A and B are shown apart, each in its own frame.
Chain A
Amino acid sequence: QKEVEQNSGPLSVPEGAIASLNCTYSDRVSQSFFWYRQYSGKSPELIMSIYSNGDKEDGRFTAQLNKASQYVSLLIRDSQPSDSATYLCAVNSPSGAGSYQLTFGKGTKLSVIP
């Protein structure tokens, strides 16, 4: 059973601060790692993808991956009220016979306070 764990929150940060979201996963052979943002009543929207150890930056967002520790994180710098949403960590792993499975965590609810 592949598992992806996230703190459900809510995580509250003041506007302008750094928000740090964390995720751990169980399957050591996982190959692709994603952060999706989901506003209430909307569909998941891709924020970041990362495939190798280290940091990947895109604007105010930085994804960090540590495969040895089975840990992936997302940093949001200069947080804005519009960043308030649920952030889903997703991990893609082989599931046998050439197939793959994208497993989602249950999400961390972020609230940015003006």
Chain B
Amino acid sequence: DAGVIQSPRHEVTEMGQEVTLRCKPISGHDYLFWYRQTMMRGLELLIYFNNNVPIDDSGMPEDRFSAKMPNASFSTLKIQPSEPRDSAVYFCASSPSPGGGFSTDTQYFGPGTRLTVL
């Protein structure tokens, strides 16, 4: 089975440019999560979707960040304009359910996108 797919794997851009990260979740998983990982802050949840609808975006750092899920097999995370402090690894994860103490709430991670903003 194909796992979570992310693209691009690496992105280098200049401050002020728009950046779009892409994710394809595991087929059949109704929940999709976007995380950011830095050395200082660790792994942080940015936003998650259920059946293409955003459920919790409280982790989105500011209005420069936006996320969409137009269908069950595709999501984007956009940063506009990008800043050097956005440099991090961005992970997408998916699961059959979001929680509740069941084995179906295990999240599976994609390979990540390493973003460098100069």
Residues of A at the B interface (CB closer than 8 Å) are 31-32, 34, 36, 42-46, 49, 51, 88, 92-95, 99-107
Contacts and interface: CB of A to CB of B under 8 A. Distances in A.
A32 B109 contact: no
Nearest to A52: B101
Interface residues of B, number: 23
Interface of B: 33, 42-45, 48, 55-56, 91, 98-103, 105-112
A95 B56 contact: yes
Contact of A31 (B42, B45, B100): B100
A49 B107 CA distance: 11
Given A99-B98, A100-B99, A105 B56 contact: no
A49 to B, nearest CB: 6
Contact of B111 (A43, A92, A100): A43
Given A31-B99, A92-B105, A102-B107, A44 B42 contact: no
A100 B44 CA distance: 14
A93 B99 contact: yes
Contacts of A88: 43
B110 to A, nearest CB: 6
B53 to A, nearest CB: 11
Contacts of B98: 92, 99-100
B44 to A, nearest CB: 8
Nearest to A98: B55
B91 A43 contact: yes
B103 A49 contact: yes
Given A88-B43, A92-B99, A99-B98, A34 B106 contact: yes
B97 to A, nearest CB: 9
